[in-house]
């Protein structure tokens, strides 16, 4: 009887001793216990934390006791900034967010995680579309380059000036001769002018549109830039040199030839063919292209004449002072002579 009584008295002491010794969780079981509801980090779930915060006008005060005052870990040892690198947005973020987005190589997925796939979800009192009113919202072409206020229906507005770093001067590679080319080829659809030099992306996420170097690749492979002449024997292989900002080996700048035996006006030839100068103008220097840069005056292989005599044969193209009067008939991939127009051979 005494033994039983002694055991009853000692039992609470044994329990206290046992509870005072922390026990390790069984192998394979996490020691961290989630206090969040199922689907807390799943965007499609009813209780996704983004939706919960939105309903609470993005008041994160309930998050801070566990995740820290700066939401960078706290006692939970889980930083909200693992996913939300800019969360919460700092003061002045709206004015500076373009620089932040550029630093992520234009990864807009981080915006969509809160603002929705169409960027229209309101956060407190606005959505991305409050400012980004063009079709596509933040993905509109002239958000990053070109005229931000311009009409997207006219692609001249999405080509620089205004490069990715805000450049506006033609002396910078981002701007260069974009608008000069549009002005020269203003008789052509703008998209056709773009495609002479670039692979025109169909949308923001198109392969090759956003890459690590921040440059638009100049392919120079359009139907005019790569036009074959000399009976198909001369095939321009255009190339852009990023070190010197020069463009070389394009039909447009004189990589062409006309064979005498293939012309019905052989009398004009002083050699077996007439050729351009295959110039390499500098993209950032308008003075590197003048009359006579892309072909001599007259072109090599052409019988010699004064510039004022060009209008005798090239009526409607040039006047008696050597000035081009119809640029649609100049540098267009065709021969314009004696009021005739036919493809360059």
- pTM of this prediction? 0.73
> Which of 123-127, 180-184, 299-303, 326-330 bottoms out in mean pLDDT, i.e. has the lowest?
123-127
Q: What is the pLDDT of residues 257-289, one digit of tens each?
A: 999 999 999 999 999 999 999 999 999 999 999
What pLDDT does 317 receive? 96
Task: Say if residue 173 is preceded by a cis peptide, omega within 30 of 0.
Answer: no
Query: What is the domain partition of the chain in residue ranges?
Result: 258-343
Tokens 């980090």 correspond to 41
| 172 in Cβ contact with 284 (< 8 Å) | yes
Burial 245-254 (b: 16+ CB within 10 A, else e): bbbbbbbbbb
CA atoms within 13 A on the CB side of 226: 13
Cα–Cα distance, 197 to 202 (Å, whole number): 15
% the chain with pLDDT above 90: 57
Region 199-209 average pLDDT: 90
The CA-atom distances, in angstroms, between 266 and each of 251, 261, 273, 278 are 22, 7, 10, 23
What pLDDT does 160 receive? 95
Name the nearest CA neighbour of 320 among 310, 330, 305. Answer: 310
Q: What is the pLDDT of residues 103-121, one digit of tens each?
A: 888 988 878 877 888 999 8
Q: Which residues sit opposite 282 in a β-bridge? A: 246
300 φ, ψ to 5°? -55, 135
Q: What is the pLDDT of residues 11-24, one digit of tens each?
A: 444 333 333 333 33
Q: What is the mean pLDDT of the chain?
A: 85
Strand pairing report for 239-241 and 246-248:
antiparallel
> Which of 21-30, 153-162, 205-214, 218-227 bottoms out in mean pLDDT, i.e. has the lowest?
21-30
Q: Which residues sit opposite 171 in a β-bridge? A: none
**Residues 76, 80, 81, CA angle at the centre, nearest 5°?**
130
Q: What is the pLDDT of residues 50-92, one digit of tens each?
A: 788 777 766 778 888 998 887 888 898 888 877 766 556 766 7
342 φ, ψ to 5°? -150, 155
Strand pairing report for 257-259 and 273-275:
antiparallel
């Amino acid at each position: 009887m005494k033994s039983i009584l002694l055991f009853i008295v000692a039992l609470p002491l044994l329990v206290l001793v046992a509870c005072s010794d922390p026990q390790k969780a069984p192998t394979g079981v996490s020691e961290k216990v989630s206090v969040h509801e199922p689907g807390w980090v799943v965007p499609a779930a009813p209780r996704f934390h983004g939706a919960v915060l939105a309903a609470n006008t993005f008041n994160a005060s309930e998050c801070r006791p566990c995740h820290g005052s700066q939401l960078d870990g706290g006692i939970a040892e889980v930083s909200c900034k693992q996913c939300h690198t800019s969360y919460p947005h700092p003061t002045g973020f709206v004015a500076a967010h373009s620089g932040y987005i550029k630093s992520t190589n234009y990864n807009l997925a981080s915006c969509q995680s809160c603002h929705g796939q169409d960027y229209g979800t309101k956060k407190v009192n606005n959505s991305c579309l409050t400012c980004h009113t063009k079709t596509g919202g933040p993905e509109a072409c002239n958000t990053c380059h070109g005229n931000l206020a311009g009409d997207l229906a006219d692609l001249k507005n999405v080509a620089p000036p205004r490069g990715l770093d805000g450049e506006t001067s033609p002396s910078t590679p981002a701007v260069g001769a974009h608008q000069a080319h549009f002005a020269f080829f203003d008789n052509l659809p703008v998209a056709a002018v773009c495609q002479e030099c670039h692979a025109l992306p169909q949308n923001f996420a198109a392969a090759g549109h956003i890459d690590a170097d921040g440059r638009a690749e100049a392919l120079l492979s359009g139907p005019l830039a790569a036009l074959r002449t000399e009976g198909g024997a001369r095939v321009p292989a255009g190339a852009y040199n990023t070190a010197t900002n020069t463009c070389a080996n394009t039909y447009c700048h004189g990589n062409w030839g006309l064979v005498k035996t293939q012309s019905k006006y052989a009398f004009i030839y002083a050699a077996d063919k007439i050729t351009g100068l295959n110039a390499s103008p500098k993209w950032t220097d308008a003075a590197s292209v003048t009359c006579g840069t892309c072909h001599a005056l007259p072109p090599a292989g052409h019988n010699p004449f004064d510039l004022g005599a060009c209008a005798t044969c090239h009526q409607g193209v040039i006047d008696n002072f050597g000035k081009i009067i119809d640029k649609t008939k100049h540098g267009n991939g065709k021969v314009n002579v004696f009021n005739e127009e036919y493809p360059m051979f």
